[in-house]
Amino acid sequence: PTPVIDEILSTLNEQQRSAAVHGRDPLLIVAGAGTGKTTTLAHRVAHLIADGVNPARILLLTFTRRAAGEMVRRVDGILRQLNHLSEKRGARVGKYSGKQLWGGTFHAVAARLLRMHGRSIGLEPEFTVHDRSDSEDLINVLRTELDLASAETRFPRKSTCIDIYSRCVNSRRSLQDVLTNSFPWCVQYADDLRRLFAAFVDRKEHNAVLDYDDLLLFWHGLLSDPAAGTAIRSRFDCVLVDEYQDTNLLQAEILQLLRPDGQGVTVVGDDAQSIYSFRAATVRNILDFPETYANTRVIPLEQNYRSTQPILDVTNEVIGQAQQRHEKKLWSEQTQGEPPVLVHCQDEDEQTEFVISEILAHREKGVDLRKQAVLFRASQHSMTLELELARRNIPFHKYGGLKFVETAHVKDLMAYMRLAENPRDFVSGVRVLLLLPGIGPKRTRDLMLLLNDAGGDFRVWEEFDPPAAAKDYWAKFVELMRNLNGPKLQDLPHQVHCVFEFYGDLLQRKYDHADARLRDLEQLEQLANRFPDRATFLTEITLDPPASTQDLAGPPTLDDDYLVLSTIHSAKGLEWDAVYVLHAADGKIPSDMATKNEAEIEEELRLFYVALTRAKNSLYVCFPLNDYMPGRGFGRHSMSQLTRFLPKGIRKRFHERTGIAAPAADEQVEMQPHITSEMIRRQSRSMWS
Ligand code: ATP
Ligand code: MG
């Protein structure tokens, strides 16, 4: 490395620097929140590039597209600094850039690689990607076809079916095992579920669609194929993974297939922040890393640079309650600071009032809205606050919860595009056909079968005699599909525009708030501008959807000032000057939905820890005493209990000062032959037979 890089790395502490300059042996950085794991990873990438590694041969896996974009931006920043300093010393200029880095989520990278190399395992490159709700739709269709959905059998709901399926795939466990351990109430349906999942795998193949789970499964399969596997392995010299604690077994296996000897592999994570076990993520991946890869160097980081000591005192104590020990006591050089505040409110309105006035007071003191965030366990917990913010014209962005592209009208528009891309995509076809007046499920099915028999040539639909109600639309609809599918309409934004022209009218008939919905679709037209082609557009939008229409505008500019509202899950890895945690009440934190066993409770505790550790200078934990608790059938207003996750001492002082009675019992807190896609499918099928 050049001495210039040393100068740049001088901002890091000793442990961080040794991680950044570490050679190619496998490296595990395991450290607590705010200790600079992500910062160190960015410096390590910059150092690798400065050391001569071609950025196009570095693969950086992150948890969200936003995180990947942010990392590339940071690496590029460091490299620009490097170029600048080198120039000043008369060295070559403009040498380094991070722009060609391969960055993204496991799923997004899988989709890219499968489009490039999928053919070698017999995967058709025009596959479309199904999101969670498409998978649920398909499961629903199959449940009906197999006659499993009758009212009296109480067969698991479509979302539960997908949860079970997904868990089997991602944790590499058998159906029986998953049912017994995680879905005991569904064990009696094992045989029917097996039949359903076998049909599901077949149908996805028939429709040329891959879902999220398939992307990982097929990437894994691609890597297991000698020729394709070698081709992919030789693409990358280094693979780095952030937030490794939230990867699942299938992802860990992919990493191992990518770099069997671990050379050039770096993973960073924090076992105390593992919050995705409901998606089969496992901290075992971190714990097993040194055993999996010989010569692993483990580097811990202890100094926290994010939060003040008074905040760390509380967060250390919170995580200290975990049954599973996380032997990390974080410390900070910022010994002074406001102690975190436990805010006791009478009810949700008071909580809203408090949070808004405190946010505005901070803004007066110079802390911009953009440096403040409100966090909550579940998306609906912020509804009251959102209404009030809107009423007072305080700008905000919301992350987590229902995403822009998950809204019905956006899904409709995307379905036209997807059907054009892949005429075998049954779910998308059904969706757009049902939008036409007078066309019902039976006709829809027949039309899709017809299209399929015609090899996806939309002209077969020209002969169809539509029912009276659909007469005005049919010819135009078929023309639209032919144009989208043919060579005439290449320009992507123009394609979106044509769909928009046709669909706008149907939208107005179908939905309320048509104006706002039409504006969303106009935004989509603009967004389409940023993608090279339709397949990339559809895949990227499906895999990592923009959180809101504002999010579509790209990263905020410095003049935009807005508050962030986020679920705790979506706040992972981020930080703000002031953080407000809403509804710190048992039932919400931990969520009622996640207290079935110790493991679930423990995950909720870690989630609370993640929330608290986002704060740099000010932390407010709000507890509305009189709170609305959703219940079975009817919700109710009732006295709630302060979250059990606050340390005993804090809870005791709270009960003493407020005179509110403490709960009676203080509960405790918790290589193979050539692989073809057909073989992967067969394997995938054999899981279910
Ligand atoms: P999380 O566990 O939440 O993902 P992290 O370990 O990835 O946290 P970072 O986000 O990289 O931590 O860093 C937290 C904050 O500390 C950031 O503001 C970063 O700029 C700052 N920071 C990290 N290392 C240093 C350092 N050596 N000197 C000064 N500031 C630092
Ligand atoms: Mg981080």
In angstroms, what CA-CA distances link 499 with 141, 418, 615? 26, 11, 44
The answer to which of 166-170, 187-191, 496-500, 655-659 has the lowest mean pLDDT is: 655-659
End-to-end CA distance of the chain: 55
**Helix 226-233 vs helix 106-117: angle between axes, to the nearest 10 degrees?**
120
Q: Please answer whether residues 355 and 384 qualify as being in contact, where contact means their C-beta atoms are separated by less than 8 angstroms.
A: no
- How high does pLDDT run on average in the chain? 87
Q: Is ligand 1 within 6 A of the CB of residue 39?
A: yes
> Which one-letter amino acid corresponds to residue 675?
I
Number of residues written out for the chain: 689
Q: Is ligand 1 within 6 A of the CB of residue 590?
A: no
The string over 547-562, giving b where at least 16 C-beta atoms fall within 10 Å of a residue's C-beta and e elsewhere, is bbbbbbeeeeeeeeeb
- Greatest Cα pair distance, the chain, in angstroms, is 80
Token digits of residue 154: 């109480």
Give the distance, in angstroms, between the CA of residue 386 and the centroid of all CA atoms in the same chain. 22
- This prediction has a pTM of 0.87
The string over 493-525, giving b where at least 16 C-beta atoms fall within 10 Å of a residue's C-beta and e elsewhere, is bebbbbbbebbeebbeeeeeeeeebbebbebbb
Confidence grade of residue 520 (pLDDT, cut at 50, 70, 90): confident
Residue 250, pLDDT above cutoff 80: yes
**Helix 190-206 vs helix 175-182: angle between axes, to the nearest 10 degrees?**
120
Q: Is ligand 1 within 6 A of the CB of residue 306?
A: yes
Q: Is ligand 1 within 6 A of the CB of residue 207?
A: no
Residue 625, pLDDT above cutoff 60: yes
List, as ranges, residues with CB under 5 A of the ion ligand 2.
Answer: 37-38, 573
> Which one-letter amino acid corresponds to residue 178?
V
Closest ligand to the CA of 20: 1
Q: Residue 604, Cβ neighbours under 10 Å: how many?
A: 24
Q: Residue 380, Cβ neighbours under 10 Å: how many?
A: 12
32 is in an annotated binding site: yes
Q: Rounded distance, CA 511 to CA 412, Å?
A: 12
Q: Rounded distance, CA 109 to CA 216, Å?
A: 9
Host H or E run for residue 204: helix 190-206
DSSP 3-state of 344: strand
Q: Is ligand 1 within 6 A of the CB of residue 11?
A: yes
The pLDDT value given to residue 92: 61
Arithmetic mean of pLDDT, 410-435: 94
The pLDDT value given to residue 435: 94
Q: Please answer whether residues 566 and 386 qualify as being in contact, where contact means their C-beta atoms are separated by less than 8 angstroms.
A: no
* C-alpha dihedral sign at 62, 64, 69, 70: negative
103 is in an annotated binding site: no
Q: Take atom 27 of ligand 1 and give the residue whose Cα is closest.
A: 12
Q: Rounded distance, CA 531 to CA 71, Å?
A: 20
Rounded to 10 degrees, what is the CA torsion of 155, 156, 159, 161? -100
35 is in an annotated binding site: yes
ipTM score above 0.95: yes
Residue 635, pLDDT above cutoff 60: no
Q: Please answer whether residues 408 and 432 qualify as being in contact, where contact means their C-beta atoms are separated by less than 8 angstroms.
A: no
Q: Rounded distance, CA 580 to CA 345, Å?
A: 13
Q: Rounded distance, CA 408 to CA 538, Å?
A: 16
Q: Please answer whether residues 546 and 552 qualify as being in contact, where contact means their C-beta atoms are separated by less than 8 angstroms.
A: yes
Arithmetic mean of pLDDT, 314-343: 85
The CA 126 to ligand 1 mean position distance, Å, reads 41
Q: Is ligand 1 within 6 A of the CB of residue 12?
A: yes
